């Protein structure tokens, strides 16, 4: 996928509102490093140019950035 297409798709995702949930990355469930909670809101954000995937903890608001999209955890 070209850079322009990734930017366009990322910008579209920036304005989508997804419900809070639990996520995994690299085969592991993501847990907040600050408070230990496991429910996050997922957004796309700009970090020094490219769009990154951001998970923000619903309990303490700590944000974590990912280059590859975390997946919503099942059940």
Could you report the per-residue pLDDT of 5-44, keeping only the tens digit for each?
Answer: 777 766 676 666 779 999 999 999 999 999 999 999 999 8
Better-predicted residue by pLDDT, 29 or 75: 29
Region of 25 on the Ramachandran plot (φ > 0 left; ψ -120 to 50 alpha; else beta): beta
Handedness of CA 68, 64, 41, 30 (dihedral sign): positive
Report the C-alpha gap between 15 and 54 in whole angstroms.
Answer: 13
Q: What is the pLDDT of residue 71?
A: 96
Q: What is the pTM of this model?
A: 0.77
Confidence of residue 50 (pLDDT cuts 50, 70, 90): confident
> Would you say residue 68 has pLDDT above 80?
yes
Mean pLDDT on 58-66: 96
């Amino acid at each position: 996928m070209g850079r322009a297409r990734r930017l366009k798709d990322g910008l579209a995702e920036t304005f989508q509102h997804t419900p809070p949930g639990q996520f995994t990355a690299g085969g592991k469930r993501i847990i907040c490093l600050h408070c230990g909670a496991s429910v996050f809101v997922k957004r796309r954000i700009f970090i020094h140019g490219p769009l990154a995937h951001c998970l923000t903890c619903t309990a303490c608001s700590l944000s974590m950035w990912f280059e590859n999209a975390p997946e919503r955890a099942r059940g």
